[in-house]
A and B are shown apart, each in its own frame.
Chain A
Amino acid sequence: MLEIKNLTKRYGNKTAVSDLSMEVRGGELCAFIGHNGAGKTTTLKCVAGILGFDEGEILVGGVSVTDDPILTKKKLAYIPDNPDIYDFMTGSQYLNFIADIFGVEEDVRRENIRRYASALELSEEEIAMQIGSYSHGMKQKLVIISALLHSPDLIILDEPFVGLDPKASHALKEIMRDFCASGGAILFSTHILEVAERLCDKVAIIKEGRLITCGSMEEVKGDASLEEIFLDLEAE
């Protein structure tokens, strides 16, 4: 579903991501971990088509994000670490806006909004409110719902659990599991290694812009905990 080949991204003289290659197949839930400034967000933004890159290739469902960015964006959903969205809209208006852009049928969007809003416990009244009055967690929930409206094949999430209450956090994990069980692929960054260890079947670790390991959870961690492996790799 997602193939990243030799990705290199520079900001001026600084190389944020260097020669990174990895793959996430349909049905896989892949955690992307690394310390602050390692290049996680840059990689995810390149995949989502928000950032251009200097070298390499990114394929979503076999389509290059540089050759046909519109088509690849239709196949994926991106959820950023900081859900800055339109304060001047209500939650409902925002969801309709996103659904319109993706061309989601009215009955499908209604059903999806009900389903995911109910799972994440965002009430009808809250969805009808102005986004300007939302808390961080409510915005995060709204962005997650909006990302799922068009039933994407691939979801890219950057620190998705930040700001979510425990129930919503649990619900999101369930949604992620169900999504992958039905053939979708997920790549998400996180600093919560316990969550990554319990939730994911694949893990990729990035350090100073370079991928230092990527494989199934069992392959990477063996009998140790993910935290131990991560700290060992970081120390090297």
Chain B
Amino acid sequence: MMLKALFRKQFAELVAQFFRNRRTGQVRTRAGGYAFIALMAVIFIAMGASFYFLAQGVFLAVPEGMAFLYYFVTGLIAIAIGLLGSVFNAYATIYNAKDNELLLSMPIPPKYIVFVRVTALSAMSALYEAVILVPAFLVRVIFRPVTPLVVVNHILLFLFVTLFVVTLTLALAFVVAAVARKVKRKSLVTVVTSIALLVLYYYLYFKAQNAMSALMTMTEVPKGIRTWLFLFYYMGLAAEGDAASMAIFAGATTLLFIVAYILLSVFFRRFTTARRSASVKGKVGDVRAARPGTALFQREMKKFLATPMYILNCGLGTLMMLLAGVLVFVKAEVLFAVKDALLSVFPRMDGGVFALVMVLLVASMNYLTAPSVSLEGKRIWVIRSLPVSTKDVFKVKIELHLSLTLLPPWYRTAPMVYAFRPGVLSSVMMFFAVTAYVLLAAEFGLALNLLKPFLDWKNETVALKTGPSVLISVFGLFLFVLGLGVLFLPVSAVLADGYYILILFVLFALGDALLMRWLGQGGVRRFEMLN
């Protein structure tokens, strides 16, 4: 009875994801809900189709006598994708679920709560696994005759690979929860970890290609696979109909899952009810006066630095520009080749516009002002009740964008000038154009957010990721800059790079002035109507 009620609640939560808008919290219409489900289905089918071709490639590349390699590779891909898709979901739905305290206040044994949550997590994981393992099974059936045992083992493997992914997910989510409990500077840890994972992902992606090549040319199973990766070795053998390997893989996976489940049940209450230990050493006497303008700017900067999602979504361009500046020197020969290819087709160019477009594209990755009004949220009363003018509030929001976005493009422009060696006019005007563009992007994002603010969020991520101002800023500016580059291709026959950049600078500056004027009038009115 109790479990049934818990499952019903969990199922309602799952269904609500489809029939409720995450951004507004409003219930979708029935048609809207089904349209959303249809969209999800299309996405999953498209992903499944692409994995089918990937699996086909792997299958055809497997050397003679090494049939286990097919499922060894596709199974590992399925595990990796399942982990990526589920680990933060597991943290959010198991350790950080909003109704944990409510459920614990009821006469429900924690192991029941864990059981229902893990079941829901397993269902989601099974969905991710199906996208890879079903196409993998189809490839196996289509390209080589199958015995009944192969079919049975594939079905069992789908279940046990899912169980394995759930076990790993629980373990990783446990680590995330433990870190979240202890760490004081969570935002810094989150940003560093996210960037490290991104770097690791690309490192492994490139390494995996070499590993795949090595695997596909081997003639016997290496000792490393038999010892260190024995579980996956048996997984590969099981997929080819080996009953003993299937039993070993199923047994080991079940054992690991039971251990994880028991640990989770024991620690569940401790983790979910622990108060955050976020205290910072300090004294009331630590007072330091600052001018109001500085205090407002510090507020914006603190907000930015304390919100990992803000940094990762809206400020990653700063890091990318710094890295890109270094790459220009390290990989200068690539740029020279690009420049030569460009000049061979458009001989009247000097490369200045191309270099400018590259700098502006990376600068467009920063859009700090686009969610800045929405981020005030329900706390907007603080700034509205203080004796500061709305123009000053706008000024610091733009200053934050400029302080993080202006220096890196300047720094980036210098090596681009070095690499492309455009004419003097192009080189000089690039700096002016970049400056005017960065200001334009800041004002544009702020204006958009004033036109489409969203203050009634429950989670900042929603304001940062899904607001129309953010989406228009991200794609609009990117397409705008690309359009300026493409437009120059035919124009270059009659207009030199330097003059084109000069025109762009004038247009950007004009846009700056117009937007500034609007912000000072209509923008102020709109902001003062928010509450």
Contacts and interface: CB of A to CB of B under 8 A. Distances in A.
Contacts of A93: 302
B190 to A, nearest CB: 13
B389 interface: yes
Interface stretch (A74-82, A190-198, A204-212): A74-82
Interface in A126-146: 127-130, 132-133
A106 interface: yes
Contacts of B282: 90, 92, 124, 127-128
A227 interface: no
B194 interface: no
A121 to B, nearest CB: 13
B196 interface: no
Contacts of A96: 287-290, 295
A109 B294 CA distance: 17
B278 interface: yes
Given A50-B385, A97-B298, A102-B387, A124 B284 contact: yes
A125 B279 contact: yes
Given A84-B381, A128-B281, A101 B386 contact: yes
B453 interface: no
Q: Report, as a range, how many residues of chain A touch the other chain.
A: 35 or more
Interface stretch (A18-26, A110-118, A179-187, A214-222): A110-118
B303 A133 contact: no
Given A101-B292, A105-B289, A133-B276, A127 B386 contact: no
Contacts of B298: 97
A85 interface: yes
A53 to B, nearest CB: 12
Contacts of A105: 289
B286 A130 contact: no
Interface in B280-338: 280-292, 294-296, 298-299, 302-303, 306-307
A110 B387 contact: no
A124 B284 CA distance: 6
Contacts of A82: 378
Among the interface residues A50, A78, A95, which one has the most CB atoms of the partner chain B within 10 A?
A50
B290 A100 contact: yes
Given A96-B288, A100-B289, A102-B387, A86 B303 contact: yes
Nearest to B384: A50
A129 B296 contact: no
A52 interface: yes
B384 A49 contact: yes
Given A80-B381, A88-B303, A97 B284 contact: no
B287 A90 contact: no
A127 B284 contact: yes
A84 B375 CA distance: 13
A124 B303 CA distance: 23
A100 B280 contact: no
A128 B382 contact: no
Contacts of B4: none
Nearest to B184: A130
Interface string B480-514: 00000000000000000000000000000000000
A1 B389 CA distance: 23
B75 to A, nearest CB: 41
A11 to B, nearest CB: 11
A84 B286 CA distance: 24
A141 B468 CA distance: 36
Interface string B8-22: 000000000000000
A67 B294 CA distance: 26
Contact of B385 (A49, A71, A95): A49
B284 A100 contact: no
A70 B278 contact: no
Contacts of B286: 92, 128
A105 to B, nearest CB: 7
A98 interface: yes
Nearest to A123: B284
A100 B529 contact: no
Contacts of B275: 133
Contacts of A84: 377-379, 381
20 contacts: A70-B387, A73-B387, A80-B381, A85-B382, A89-B299, A92-B283, A92-B287, A96-B295, A97-B295, A100-B289, A100-B291, A100-B295, A104-B289, A106-B289, A110-B284, A113-B284, A128-B279, A129-B278, A130-B280, A133-B279
Kindly list the 6 A-B residue pairs having the minimum CB-CB distance in the complex, ordered from nearest. A100-B295, A88-B306, A128-B282, A73-B387, A130-B278, A78-B385
Given A88-B307, A90-B280, A96-B290, 5 more contacts: A51-B531, A99-B289, A100-B291, A110-B285, A128-B281
